[in-house]
Amino acid sequence: MISKEILPQQYKFSEKKIDVFFDADFSLIEAKLQKDKTIFITDENVYAAHKEKFSGWQSIVIKAGEQFKNQQTVDLIIQHLIDLHADRQAFIVGIGGGVITDIAGFVASIYMRGVKFAFVPTSILAMVDASIGGKNGIDVGVYKNLVGVINHPEFLLYDYSFLETLPDHEWVNGFAEIIKHACIKDSEMFQLLEKRSIAKFQQSSEDTASIIKRNVDIKYNVVANDEQETGERKLLNFGHTIGHAIENESKLPHGHAISIGMVAACHISEMINDFSKADTRRISDLLGKYELPVSFTSDKEKTWEILLHDKKKSGINMSFVVLDSIGKASIKSLPLDQLHKIFNSI
Amino acid sequence: MISKEILPQQYKFSEKKIDVFFDADFSLIEAKLQKDKTIFITDENVYAAHKEKFSGWQSIVIKAGEQFKNQQTVDLIIQHLIDLHADRQAFIVGIGGGVITDIAGFVASIYMRGVKFAFVPTSILAMVDASIGGKNGIDVGVYKNLVGVINHPEFLLYDYSFLETLPDHEWVNGFAEIIKHACIKDSEMFQLLEKRSIAKFQQSSEDTASIIKRNVDIKYNVVANDEQETGERKLLNFGHTIGHAIENESKLPHGHAISIGMVAACHISEMINDFSKADTRRISDLLGKYELPVSFTSDKEKTWEILLHDKKKSGINMSFVVLDSIGKASIKSLPLDQLHKIFNSI
């Protein structure tokens, strides 16, 4: 029997074409890459849960967690690459969640001034967000993604069997970004999410595959229209300006932090953009339904200080993403003073 | 009196246009950049010799020397940038020799996923070589430029007054690359160099300006034709495969190491490319005239080991640049075994 050939969907960023294999089997890697030139980068959790997939491949396994998304881990990976005699023909595959795709993409972009790479996202978050758009990088101290480049992988492979071992809290984390996409771009998906729940998605691989594909398309379209983040791409920061600061201050998981950040951004939207209180309530209810926190618990003054250093800051004004309605967002440039006052009042 | 407007020469790499201001005054920077957004990166030597130029500008001053072209210095610069509240609108200017332009270009390329930057090369080497072509990066242990990206500055400013304080050994260093350009691309310039000397260039700023411009054009044309280094750009590695290994093994200055590397490459060219012994002699004499060493003094076996790890290595074959005649070079792909034997025999 001849196995069916899987045809990728093609996404294009500037000059670069990226093949995306949705609903593919991990073994497709063998057809695409040579074992002696390929190096997998993954974390201990993914490796432990899927050992059989790594058998026979050169693999660099790093510790799991955002706290290892730093220069020390980059140094360690580069030392491994040297030890493996990786040359300019090396091909790096990042297999894991957002931390792995961010760090693998960054290392591949700087090792020997850039070798080719691909991603196999294994978490909802990485599938719908982190692995699309070419942003990669590491944290420096409290500053998220302070160092990195923009560079796209050769291909993305979606093997949903990885989700079977994904912990529940990682489903929650990922749905925060899905709800964000709904808020800024897709009111129909917002309604769909209101009818479902994480448990329901976990029970239906078809629904999960479909919602993932829908979110990849949303993110892809936004990024492809504005790769350098001068306009529309900034909308993806909805909930993230405050969210990242909360994440730093409180060490909450990314999804939790941006969930609180989104609710805060809704309140700010009410105040400066006539966004309706009722819609803030709908968003807050939906986040709650997906087991995400919605109230501010971290130290506000510390959070503000970190926010001030946030990399989106540009002089005395700050770009801030507000909602016009559910499914439609825009960017306001606010004086920092005014934002500080509003922030303290919510 | 209205000061004359200096018009840049424009060089183009792929999509990117770079303004090159030849024979300009450093003060032009004031007309081009805002003080509050601009951050200079320089080294202690350049800073000490030209303090007045840095007055009133935010400056990061690092230790001088190739041994500091590493991740630790990158970490240090990034910490400085954070402390200076540098945001995405920051503009970095690398003012110095090749180490400074390499590291400043790399930091600017990764800080916040890339901020704009420019170079003011202050050494012959940086003027004719390091600051052109978009290659930047750092060393990792013994491996030269193992980490970096390809990214171009917004502009280059050539202020030849910096050469007045350039130590003699740095003139020697720079002329190694000039002689390299002559060997691979410009037999007429080779003849011109035979008639001159470093002392003569130092006495004539006009001749120096003219030879620098000529070398920028050579490097620019080679790079613009082959930015990704798949073909012609590799010619610029003439003398560098062995030269880099010598530099690592013996800690000789870059120019000295590649001078020895070029003579070795001439001998190899005799053996595998019918290059004439007489021309090897002419090249060796010219290098000697410019105070560069021509005989191998470092440990051959260690040098070979380092060469094996050299980043140009691709599987069991290695690309090696040979001369056809003075002014004309080509690339041979050689089995490593054969290269090892030849290397031992020279």
Residues A246-271 pLDDT 10s: 988 888 999 999 999 999 999 999 99
| CA gyration radius, chain A | 20
ipTM for the complex?
0.91
Of A301-305, A310-314, B167-171, B342-346, minimum mean pLDDT range = A310-314
Pick the more confident residue, A313 or A42: A42
Provide the pLDDT for residue A144: 86
Angle, vertex CA B103, rays to CA B309 and CA B183, nearest 5: 60
**C-beta neighbour count of B274 within 10 angstroms:** 10
Give backbone dihedrals phi and psi of A104, rounded to 5 degrees, phi first. -65, -40
Mean pLDDT within A301-311? 80
Provide the pLDDT for residue A317: 83
CA distances for B229 relative to A88, B150, B164, B224, B319, angstroms: 11, 11, 34, 10, 12
Provide the pLDDT for residue B15: 80
Domains and CATH numbers, chain B: 9-165 (3.40.50.1970), 174-345 (1.20.1090.10)
Provide the pLDDT for residue A310: 64
Q: Is A341 exposed, middle or buried (0-12, 13-18, 19+ CB in 10 A)?
A: exposed
Reference A22, options A130, A158, A123, A119; nearest CA is: A158
Helix (H) or strand (E) run with residue B144 in it: strand B143-147
Reference B94, options B83, B105, B109; nearest CA is: B105
Work out the pLDDT band at B19, boundaries 50, 70, 90.
Answer: very high
Work out the pLDDT band at B314, boundaries 50, 70, 90.
Answer: low
What is the C-alpha separation between A167 and B23, in angstroms, rounded? 63
Beta bridge partners of A140: A143
Provide the pLDDT for residue A143: 86
Mean pLDDT within A178-196? 98
Pick the more confident residue, B340 or B315: B340
Q: Indicate whether B275 pLDDT > 70.
A: yes
Provide the pLDDT for residue A2: 44
Mean pLDDT within B316-325? 91
Each residue's pLDDT tens digit, A35-89 = 999 999 999 999 999 999 999 999 999 999 999 999 999 999 999 999 999 999 9
Provide the pLDDT for residue B173: 96
Mean pLDDT within A285-309? 91
Provide the pLDDT for residue B229: 80
E strands of A148-270, at which residues? 155-157
Reference A73, options A44, A113, A53; nearest CA is: A44
Pick the more confident residue, A288 or B225: A288
What is the C-alpha separation between A120 and A42, in angstroms, rounded? 10
Contact B114 A149 (CB under 8 A): yes
Q: Does residue A98 sit in helix, strand or coil?
A: helix
**C-beta neighbour count of B84 within 10 angstroms:** 13
Mean of the per-residue pLDDT values of chain A: 93
Each residue's pLDDT tens digit, B4-14 = 556 899 999 88
Provide the pLDDT for residue A226: 87
Chain B residues within 8 A of A73 when measuring between CB atoms: none
Residue A214 falls in the annotated catalytic set:
no
User: Closest chain A residue to B150 measured between Cα atoms?
Assistant: A113
Determine which one of A233, A234, A256, A267 is catalytic. A233
What is the C-alpha separation between A310 and A256, in angstroms, rounded? 18
Residues contacting residue B313 through CB under 8 Å, at least 6 positions apart = A87, B336
What is the C-alpha separation between B243 and B129, in angstroms, rounded? 16
Mean pLDDT within A316-342? 92
Spell B18-31 as b/e; 16+ CB within 10 A means b: bbbbbebebebbee
Residue A152 falls in the annotated catalytic set:
no
| CA gyration radius, chain B | 20
Q: Indicate whether A239 pLDDT > 90.
A: yes
Mean pLDDT within A323-331? 97
Q: How far apart are the first and last CA of chain B?
A: 63
Left, alpha or beta for A19 (phi > 0: left; psi -120 to 50: alpha)? beta
Contact B147 A78 (CB under 8 A): yes
Of A21-30, A292-301, B269-278, minimum mean pLDDT range = A292-301
Mean pLDDT within B48-71? 96
Contact A88 B140 (CB under 8 A): no
Beta bridge partners of B61: B42
Mean pLDDT within A124-140? 96
Q: Is A99 exposed, middle or buried (0-12, 13-18, 19+ CB in 10 A)?
A: buried
Provide the pLDDT for residue A231: 86
What is the C-alpha separation between A100 and A113, in angstroms, rounded? 20
Q: Indicate whether B172 pLDDT > 70.
A: yes
What is the C-alpha separation between A194 and A184, in angstroms, rounded? 16
Test the A interface: residue of B78, B84, B113, B145 with most A CBs within 10 Å: B113
From the list A110, A135, A143, the residue facing B149 with the nearest CB is A110
Query: How close B143 comes to chain A (CA, Å)?
Result: 9
